[in-house]
Amino acid sequence: MSATTRTNPSQPRRMRDVHHWDIETDVAIVGFGGAGGCAAIEAADSGSEVVIFELASAGGGSTAMSSAEIYMGGSGGTRVQRACGFDDNTEDMFTYMMMTAGPLADEAKIRNYCENSLGHFQWLVDRGVTFKDSFHQERAIVCLTDDGLLYTGNEKAYPFAQQAKPCPRGHNLQVEGDNGGPLFIKIIADNVEQRDAISVEYEARALTLIVDDDNRVTGLVVRINQQEHNVRARQGVILCAGGFVMNEEMVNKFAPMLARGNVPCGNPGDTGSGILMGMAVGGTAINMHEGFISLPYYPPASMTRGILINDKGQRFINEDVYHGRMGAYLLNQQSERFYYILTVDQYGDYEKTSYLSADVVATGESVAELESELGLRKSSLQQTIALYNEDCQAGEDTMQHKAAEWLEPLKPPLAALDVTPGRGAIFPYFTLGGLDTLPSGEVVDPQRQPIQGLFAAGRTACGVVRTGQGYSSGMSVGDATFSGRMAGIAASAVVRSRA
């Protein structure tokens, strides 16, 4: 075998080809983002010696780039939820999260997440994460105030609200502006720094796993200072290396629909290497086709009063859904163009507050004029808006079930934004596939038998978040931090049970 093939993540190194260990530890963690940081803290606090290998020259990963909203609740409510008057119920949270994942749901994982969510809140607070006991009223994509709680998904929208009592579960760090991610990572990094049992190797690229003759993962190969190092991980390796949104070849292979978006969301390390390393030793990559594609037609929240139509002039989704759900349904239409129709009042300060950048492509002093300007079939948009306006008057959206608070007749003059993928608007996207794991973080083969010595968390694993149509902000960092902790604990338990 040449040196080149040895360092391919798809070709694990055999332990019998390892003649000495350059580094030895109990638990080796690949990636120092939200998942890797939390895994390290828990593993260390469980008595393990830990080394984190981070590709970049500082920790953070995609968590640092995010707003770091954290999806938590249930069990009567977190301190913040209760202070804001929401007594969240575990079953409502469970039902909601099961609906967000649809048939792709991992029920055991969602159950574990919901039942331990209050404990997770407390764990974060105990480690220095602060949340203000205040509720952000405005419908927003990110919270630009230091309020501690907001709605971040489809909780109040059809069909979710009809099956699970709505409750806000997006917890926002106490910081002004969109600065939650850097603050969160600083707190986690401080915790890592304080623990002597954890050391961090930066600018260290994990190349491939090392397995023994029974396919047990016993370590990994990393490259530091252009030198390959064999790392012995006595208890296990935890892959927290992010997703694959930055690997164009993998996106094209597994989730090509996402390429209709134009701004990948992630950090440069999201090359799928963690997923590939896991697959190479028998781990199962699941949900690889799924992802999130955004259509951020708000803020301002007033735009929710507009309507989204396809090139038949038809509405096809309630416009009060979270932007990722709108993106998912938009991509599934047989339609060459999509327009967002609204009044001047509804448009408001869109140009300032949104980063969507969709262009106004038509205006009309009447619906008929707008319809004609857009080249839609005569009478199509007129009929859609006639029914919609009747419904607004009556206070019930009989067609798409948008909540009554957003119903306002569309009275000309009207404008149309072109929100067609590829026509100027910004469509951020990210992947939702990863290694199948048990709730403990153990990576499993297609028969769900654990690969000994291998764990995954965060976006390298396939967690509680499964679909773009159900995605809610705060679920990624919520899942990354929670699943990181589970894996850190489990990797230490493995060792403890052997001792």
Query: Is 177 one of the binding residues for a copy of itself (CB under 8 A)?
Result: no
Query: Is 4 one of the binding residues for a copy of itself (CB under 8 A)?
Result: no
- Cis ω before 159 (30° cut-off from 0): yes
Query: What is the rounded (10 degree) CA torsion for 347, 351, 352, 357?
Result: 130
> Among the candidate windows 99-107, 232-240, 422-430, 471-479, which touches a copy of itself by CB under 8 A?
99-107
* Position among 56, 104, 368, 493 found at the interface with a copy of itself (CB under 8 A): 104
Q: How far is CA 490 from the centre of its chain?
A: 23
CB of 136 to a copy of itself, least distance (A): 28
Question: Which x/- pattern over 385-414 shows residues binding a copy of itself (rule: CB under 8 A)?
Answer: --x----------xxx--------------
Q: What is the DSSP string of 66-95?
A: S---EE---TT--HHHHHTT----HHHHHH
Could you give the CA distance from residue 153 to residue 42 in angstroms, rounded to a whole number? 29
* Of residues 31, 42, 240, the one with CA closest to residue 123: 42
Query: Is 7 one of the binding residues for a copy of itself (CB under 8 A)?
Result: no
Query: Is 47 one of the binding residues for a copy of itself (CB under 8 A)?
Result: no
* Position among 7, 8, 174, 199 found at the interface with a copy of itself (CB under 8 A): 8
CB of 221 to a copy of itself, least distance (A): 16
- Cis ω before 166 (30° cut-off from 0): no
Q: Which two tokens stand for residue 386?
A: 């006639």
CA-to-CA separations, 326 to 331, 338, 352, in angstroms, rounded:
9, 11, 22
Q: What is the CA radius of gyration of the chain?
A: 24
Alpha-carbon dihedral sign for residues 93, 450, 454, 41: positive
In the bound state with a copy of itself, the residue whose beta carbon lies nearer, of 104 and 403, is: 104
Burial (CB < 10 A; 0-12, 13-18, 19+), residue 72, is buried
CB of 294 to a copy of itself, least distance (A): 18
Give the 3-state secondary structure of 319-380.
Answer: CCCCHHHHHHHHHCCCCCCEEEEEEHHHHCCHHHHCCCCCEEEEEECCHHHHHHHCCCCCCH
* Position among 145, 179, 262, 333 found at the interface with a copy of itself (CB under 8 A): 333
In the bound state with a copy of itself, the residue whose beta carbon lies nearer, of 215 and 440, is: 215
Residues in 409-468 that interact with a copy of itself by CB under 8 A: 436, 445-447, 449
In the bound state with a copy of itself, the residue whose beta carbon lies nearer, of 2 and 227, is: 2
Could you give the CA distance from residue 131 to residue 145 in angstroms, rounded to a whole number? 12
* Position among 155, 290, 319, 320 found at the interface with a copy of itself (CB under 8 A): 290
* Position among 85, 103, 268, 422 found at the interface with a copy of itself (CB under 8 A): 103
* Position among 194, 379, 411, 413 found at the interface with a copy of itself (CB under 8 A): 379
Could you give the CA distance from residue 108 to residue 106 in angstroms, rounded to a whole number? 6
Helix (H) or strand (E) segment spanning residue 493: helix 475-498
Question: Which x/- pattern over 232-251 shows residues binding a copy of itself (rule: CB under 8 A)?
Answer: ------------------x-
- The size of the interface with a copy of itself (CB under 8 A), counted in residues, is 52
Query: Is 82 one of the binding residues for a copy of itself (CB under 8 A)?
Result: no
In the bound state with a copy of itself, the residue whose beta carbon lies nearer, of 82 and 448, is: 448
Binding site for a copy of itself (CB under 8 A): 1, 8, 10-11, 14, 102-104, 159, 213-215, 250, 252-254, 256-257, 259, 276, 279-280, 282, 284-290, 312, 314-317, 329, 332-334, 377, 379-380, 383, 387, 398-400, 436, 445-447, 449
